[in-house]
Amino acid sequence: MRHKKNNNQVTEAGAEDFFLPDFCATQPLLMLILAAELLALLLVLAGLQQLTPFPWDRLALISFLVQWIALVSAALLCNLRPWLQRLPSSTAAGLCFVVVLALVAFFTWLSGPVLRFAGLNPFYETVSLQDMARNLMMGAIIVGLIMRYFYLQEQLRAKQRTELTARLQALQSRIRPHFLFNSMNIIASLIHVDPDKAERAVEDLSELFRASLKAEGEIAMSEELELCQHYVNIETLRLGDRLQVEWKLEAVPEGLRIPALTLQPLIENAIYHGVEPRFEPSVVRITVNYDGSHVGIIITNPVAPASSNTKGNRMALANIRQRLLAHYGETARLSMSADKDVFTTLVSYPLPQGGRPVAIQTEKEEVEEQAEGV
């Protein structure tokens, strides 16, 4: 199976991890606005002797000051973030601390002229040096606590990433021997029956295993499909016309990703349970589609006869389910269902929109197109 060049445009490798949230994004900005308003309410409540009547006018003015500091800080840190990412974390945190405190001082000083301009200075005292010092001290404490929180959050994420990487590598290392063992069994069964087929199978296996050894984490869907085609070639040499594979690969974005060695064990499972026990030609259908937010893979094969003794240890299926969960979280799923005649395996996992649509062709489709053009 040949595929068009993949530029991995669906999911970009994330920018270098940084302790400071990206305030250009909507969610962190909304959380900041909410936190700023809660802080303003806390400052008002701290100065109250009694709750009634509630000083709504004071809350409005303090909210105005705090929100301006929060929003301008977010705008500055949003624009400075690419530059701050290149600095050591301690230096970047120190600069963020200085920037926010400078804004606290500036808006505290600016509140005096604003109050006079609005004609509110008879009701509120002029901002004094003592007010400036108090606001700076409160700002330093609050910003220090927030920076510490962001730093600890990043340390926790780094630890989780390290543990996830180790877990995925362990899962990958367990599935490869299983994969090689089954492939070698196929070749062993061909050696005495048809040495030429066995030789071709060894060549396919060498390509197959070379690709699988390079596969780590997520790979391009085209690479996974090519690996599957090598495996199907080996099985076709053994099973002949009994095995028929149909690929339905709808237009998918360039760079569509999938965890390595996800499809191949599922196709192997479909052939082992749905084709091998039967003596008549049997069809395995593989459908891959993408709706802009989720990748869907459907594999169907005939239900094995009741007299079949084919049994698996389900290690590969459990392994795939764990890797999908580790990569994509609880929204990823691997499910299986069967009716009277057809066994269906469904894989679904989230993937953000991106890239441009390209049509991925199977080797059979390419041959047919070439034949039509002659």
- List the CATH number of the domain containing 308: 3.30.565.10
| E strand or H helix that includes residue 253 | strand 252-253
Could you tell me if 291 and 257 lie in one domain?
yes
Helix or strand holding residue 248 (H, E): strand 243-249
User: Can you give the pLDDT at residue 284?
Assistant: 94
Boundary-marking domain end, from 130, 159, 188:
159
- Report pLDDT for 10: 42
Do 225 and 236 share a structural domain? yes
Task: Label the pairing between strands 357-358 and 252-253.
Answer: antiparallel
Same domain, 187 and 131: no
> Do the domain assignments include residue 33?
yes
Q: Are 278 and 367 within one domain?
A: yes
Residue 2 counted as domain residue: no
- Indicate yes or no: pTM above 0.85: no
Residue 11 in domain? no
Residues 175 and 287 in one domain: yes
Q: Are residues 206 and 334 in the same domain?
A: yes
Asked if residue 180 and residue 103 are part of one domain, the reply reads no
* Domain termination site, one of 141, 159, 177: 159
Please name the residue ranges forming H helices in the chain.
26-46, 56-84, 89-117, 129-191, 195-214, 221-239, 263-274, 315-328, 363-373
Burial label for 274, CB within 10 Å (0-12, 13-18, 19+), is buried
In 3D space, the residue among 224, 220, 357, 246 whose CA is nearest the CA of residue 292 turns out to be 357
Nearest to 24 by CA among 76, 65, 64, 70: 76
Beta carbons of 20 and 81 less than 8 angstroms apart: yes
Domain hosting residue 41, numbered range: 26-159
Distance (Å, whole) CA 34 – CA 270 = 52
Phi, psi of 58 (to 5 degrees): -70, -40
Q: Position 152: which residue type?
A: L
User: Does the residue 166 lie in any domain?
Assistant: yes
Residues 316 and 260 in one domain: yes
* Same-domain check for residues 75 and 124: yes
Say if 20 falls within a structural domain: no
Q: How far apart are the first and last CA of the chain?
A: 21
Predicted local confidence at residue 353, as pLDDT: 59
Query: Do 274 and 303 contact (CB within 8 A), yes or no?
Result: yes
pLDDT at site 17: 64
Same domain membership, residue 259 and residue 140: no
Radius of gyration of the chain from its Cα atoms, rounded to whole angstroms: 31
pLDDT averaged over 10-residue windows placed end to end, the chain, 374 residues: 40 54 84 87 82 82 85 89 85 88 86 63 61 84 85 77 62 56 75 80 76 70 85 82 89 79 86 87 92 90 73 67 81 89 92 48 42 41
Is 14 contained in some domain? no
Count of domains in the chain?
A: 2
Q: How far apart are CA 356 and CA 193, in angstroms?
A: 47
Residue 358 in contact with residue 254, Cβ under 8 Å? yes
Task: Give the residue from 118, 138, 159 where a domain finishes.
Answer: 159
Same domain assignment for residues 198 and 328: yes
In this structure, are 167 and 148 located in the same domain?
no
On whether residue 18 sits in a domain, the answer given is no
- Could you give the CA distance from residue 327 to residue 168 in angstroms, rounded to a whole number? 9
C-alpha distance from residue 132 to each of 187, 194, 317, 321 (Å): 81, 90, 64, 57
Q: Looking at the domain assignment, is residue 68 inside a domain?
A: yes
In the structure encoding, which two tokens stand for residue 271, read together? 């052939």
